[in-house]
Amino acid sequence: MTETMVGILLATLGAGTPLVFAALGELVTEKSGVLNLGVEGMMIVGAVCGFAVAAESENLWLGVVMSVFAGAGMALLFGILTLTFQANQVAAGLALTIFGIGLSAYIGLDYTSVALTGIQQIHVPVLSDIPVIGPLIFSLDPLLYLSFVAFGAITYFLYKTKTGLLLRAVGESPESAVSLGYPVIAIRYMAVLFGGAMAGLGGAYLALVYTPLWVEAMTAGRGWIALALVVFSTWRPARVMVGAYLFGGVTIIQFHVQGFGVDIPSQLLSMLPYLATIVVLVLISRDINTIRLNAPASLGKAYHPSV
Amino acid sequence: MTTNESTNLEPRLELRGVTKIYPTVVANDDVNLKVVPGEIHAVLGENGAGKSTLMKIIYGVTRPDRGEMFWEGKHVEVSKPAEARRLGIGMVFQHFSLFETLTVAQNIALGVDEPFDLQQLSDRISEVSHRYGLPLDPKRLVHSLSVGERQRVEIVRCLLQEPKLLIMDEPTSVLTPQAVRTLFETLRRLADEGCSILYISHKLEEIRELCHSATVMRGGKVTAQADPRQETATSLARMMIGRELPVFEHGAAKGDGTSRLVINGLSRRSDDPFGTDLKDLHLEVKGGEILGIAGISGNGQQELLLALSGEKPLDRSDAAAIKIDGHGVGHLNAAARRDLGLTFVPEERLGRGAVPPMSLSENSLLTGHRNGMVRFGLINNNKVREFAEKCVKNFDVRCGGVQAAAKSLSGGNLQKFIVGREILQKPNVLIAAQPTWGVDVGAAAVIRQELIDLRNEGLAVLVISEELEELFEICDRIVVIAEGRLSPVKPTAETDMEEIGMWMSGLFPGEEADNREIAHA
């Protein structure tokens, strides 16, 4: 019984981690006032590029690095469109996703049947062998630890550093930030690029850890869920984590339910994680004051420098 | 140290031949300016005279096309606000540059160039704010502050940098008379300590009271240098607008004294979490009078206007809370209320009063369509044009004809057109929000006279304004809105700015002064 529980928890962490990366990245982007709807596209391009490089070089970490750059590259494209040329953010984001899905299918043509051994869990002597705590704390895969670090670092950055404060201020009122002499566009570029890099990492986790293989459209809407997580978590990192693991948990449980042969169409069960995550997050974030206090007021609006 | 006798001091700031040209307008044309240490120097001019552009150039937000700037005798180029701050220039913006969802301390941290330590900064904020009599709690969120307190945040942010030159852009437009006095004390004290102050304003009495010297601007040019203490308000006005200030005639009103617009127990929660709830409002506007509602913005004016105009109708059960000529209209939408003779001039000219890219004649159709302009769903273009032309002619709207886009008109002319459009519909009740906001003195005089004429015709006119001077000029009776409540109504002749100003901070008879303090304003 304990072993099953530990198994479910581990699988939950694994299923939630791509979302953790992508949603935390998007959170930083949105905090600067930019709405990038291209998360799905950046994630899947990150996944296929990482997988391709890992397969060719037989170096998984080179693959991870490639994913990060690929995600950031996609984000750069979005940044040029929306920040330099002031294109509509919603339209540009949607286009980015469609472009990313198509591009990834093309890049991935030769890799659909390639088998790869994914990134493995670490093993700490003695500690990893402690029952329950061992597998849950001391023998996870390195990227999972990185996602925890990313959560801590982003929270610290946003709420404890002056640069983080500035990022939030730019999302709140770019006009005020400019009148104080801050480079709004440059700050937004940084935030957009970071968001892309994190989405790429999310893709890497999918293709190199979670299911170490490449399948067309393998992100399966996780980019969209990441976007929803950011909104329904009212732009707070801790709630993003809760939402991501909730999604992961429901995903795993519905697999088990299917495994028991319960007489519910599998399509309905596959819907469950998406549905449950959104319902729960909507319920815990109904308070309009928290939304107003945490939502970036200029989200999605292009900033036209007038001077 | 008093340095007001400053004729032979080296100027702290000197501008020579500053010119800034925007695509449609020359904002600054060969402007020269000199400010010496310890001097409070007024820059006086109407809206659009180029004062704000000039200040942005000094603070490094905008770059001039031509001209030079000297700081303490040395030639300087200021290309960023951070450089201006390093020289010792601080600026308090007209539309504040604050972030609503951040705390006072966080806001100030973003405006000072020093290591990030919120705790230490908070201590300094408390210390400086008490030294200058500007109490502030560093931990409060800015959105919960009153307008006066927000201005304090901006001032304290500048004071922390120990500025040698402080720029104040229209600082009193949002303050009660009492808060203005406190501000003046702070400014005089700063000047006595040797700080130079550039004081931007179009309020003549204030400048005469406070400033040591004045530079007057009109149409981007410097038109006069004066010592405001030696001038009268009339002579300053002549320098500023090039002619005499207009005088208003009230005359006898036709009305029979019946109430035409009645608010009876209007209560409503605001949709906006940072908005103000309306609490049991009662008010009667009679035919043949102008009733003014004074108050600092954000005290329920927006919510009251939405309820009165019908943009956010009340529930059917509250129909009787608003009555027009005896009809309960609380549940009706804006169009149905207009059918009963209500007209409304909103605060935002572009977007709410008029559709910016549409022509004037199309814009007159928007609310004027009741006057036979539409038959069987088809527009009678001749009628529409006639209406628009009449409006342009009767109300002296300067424009490139009735086919000109609304956004191509200056603020004053567009406002004259909108007010005219509403008046030509022969209303029973007119509600006007900030009717002369951002409008030049000449156009404002026309609009005010139109409102008075309507009153003389026997209409009920309700004016909501933040400009006390305006309300005292045109209103028969005056009432104050503060924190979503209405004060008692007083005939204008029986009250004064002092009393109304006190009421604006929430202290009026019948209002228990529970946890409220005067300083809150």
- Over the stretch B442-474, which tens digit does the pLDDT of each residue have? 778 888 988 998 899 889 999 998 888 889 989
Q: Taking 70 as the threshold, does the pLDDT of residue A186 lie above it?
A: yes
Q: Is the pLDDT of residue A307 over 90?
A: no
Q: Which of B56, B106, B273 sits opposite A165 (nearest CB)?
A: B106
Check which CATH number belongs to the domain holding A151 and give it: 1.10.3470
Helix, strand, or coil here: B511? coil
Q: Which residues of B touch A294 (CB under 8 A)?
A: 101
Sole residue written with tokens 């006190």? B502
Mean pLDDT across B322-347: 91
B99 vs A161, A169, A178: nearest CB: A169
Q: Which token pair is A304? A: 């036209």
pLDDT tier at B7, thresholds 50, 70, 90: low
Asked whether residue A262 carries a pLDDT value surpassing 80, the answer given is: no
Residue B386, exposed/middle/buried by CB under 10 A (0-12, 13-18, 19+)? middle
What three-state secondary structure class fits B157? helix
Q: Inter-chain contact A173–B56, Cβ cutoff 8 Å?
A: no
Mean pLDDT over A157-177 rounds to 93
Which residues have C-beta within 8 Å of that of residue A239, sequence separation ≥ 6? A232, A233, A281, A284, A285
Q: Are B75 and B69 in contact (CB under 8 A)?
A: yes
| Contact status, residue B41 vs residue B210, Cβ threshold 8 Å | no
Give the tokens for residue A298.
């200029």
Nearest residue on chain B to A294, alpha-carbon basis: B101
Residue with tokens 């960023």: B80
At residue B484's C-alpha, the angle toward residues B479 and B485, to 5°, is 45
Tell me if A303 is assigned to some domain.
no
Average the pLDDT over each of A72-81, A188-197, B244-253, B266-275 and give the range with the smallest value: B244-253
Q: Which residues in chain A touch residue B80, judged by CB atoms under 8 angstroms apart?
A: 181
- Per the domain annotation, does A300 fall within a domain? no
Work out how many CB contacts closer than 8 A connect A with B.
Answer: 61
| Domain ranges, ordered by start, for chain B | 13-241, 259-341+427-520
In a domain, A299, yes or no: no
* CATH classification number, B259-341+427-520, choose in 3.40.50.300, 3.20.20.150, 2.120.10.30, 3.40.50.920: 3.40.50.300
Confidence of residue A187 (pLDDT cuts 50, 70, 90): very high
Number of Cβ within 10 Å of residue B424's Cβ equals 18
Of the residues B22, B101, B154, the best mutation for testing chain A's interface (the one with the most A CB atoms within 10 Å of its CB) is B101
In angstroms, what separates the C-alpha of A90 from chain B's closest C-alpha? 23
More confident residue, B515 or A259: A259
Band of pLDDT at residue B174, cut at 50, 70 and 90: low
Helix (H) or strand (E) holding B292: strand B289-294
Rounded to two decimals, the ipTM of the complex is 0.82
Mean pLDDT estimate for chain B: 86
Eight-class DSSP state of B283: E
Chain B CB contacts of A175 under 8 Å are 97
Q: What percent of chain A has pLDDT over 70?
A: 99
Q: Taking 70 as the threshold, does the pLDDT of residue A195 lie above it?
A: yes
Closest C-alpha among B75, B71, B66, B62 to residue B17:
B66
Question: What's the whole-model pTM score?
Answer: 0.76
Buried b (16+ CB within 10 A) or exposed e, A229-241: bbbbbbbbbebbb
- Residue-wise pLDDT for A118-152, tens only, equals 888 888 888 888 888 888 888 889 999 999 999 99
pLDDT above 70 (res A306): no
Q: How far apart are CA B40 and CA A247, in angstroms?
A: 63
The CATH class, in words, for B13-241 is alpha beta
Contact between A165 and B109 using a beta-carbon 8 Å cutoff? yes
Read off the tokens for B470. Answer: 């305006």
Phi, psi angle pair for A274, to nearest 5°: -65, -45
* Distance in Å, alpha carbon of A166 to nearest chain B alpha carbon: 7
Are domains B13-241 and B259-341+427-520 of this chain identical in fold?
yes
Q: Is residue A47 part of a domain?
A: yes
Dist CA B59 CA B13 (whole Å): 12
Across A73-98, average pLDDT? 95
Give CA torsion, residues B223, B225, B228, B230, to 10 deg: -110
Residue B513, pLDDT score: 44
Chain A residues closer than 8 Å to B102 by CB: 165, 168-169, 172
Q: Which two tokens stand for residue B433?
A: 């929000």
* A301 in any annotated domain: no
Instruction: Check whether B514 has a pLDDT greater than 70.
Output: no
Query: What is the extent of the structural domain holding A277?
Result: 2-116+123-294
Burial class (CB in 10 A: 0-12, 13-18, 19+), B183: buried
A122 membership: H or E segment, kind and range: none
Question: Which residues of A sit within 8 Å Cβ distance of B?
Answer: 161-162, 165-166, 168-169, 172-173, 175-182, 288-289, 292-294, 297, 307
Q: What is the pLDDT of residue A222?
A: 92
Q: Determine the residue of chain B that is closest to A288 in CA distance.
A: B273
Which residue in chain B has the smallest CA separation from A162? Answer: B116
For residue B10, the 8-state DSSP code is P
Interface with chain B: mutation pick from A167, A176, A306, highest number of B CBs within 10 Å: A176
Decide if B93 and A289 are in contact by the 8 Å CB cutoff: no
Distance CA B149, CA B520 (A): 7
Per-residue pLDDT, averaged over A28-51, amounts to 96
DSSP B268-281: E--SSTTS--EEEE
- Closest residue in chain A to residue B271, using alpha carbons only: A288
Report yes or no on A17 lying in a domain. yes
Question: What is the per-residue pLDDT for B5?
Answer: 46
pLDDT > 60? residue A200 = yes
User: How many folded domains does chain A comprise?
Assistant: 1
Does residue A113 register a pLDDT over 90?
Answer: no
Q: Comparing A34 with A181, which gets the higher pLDDT?
A: A34
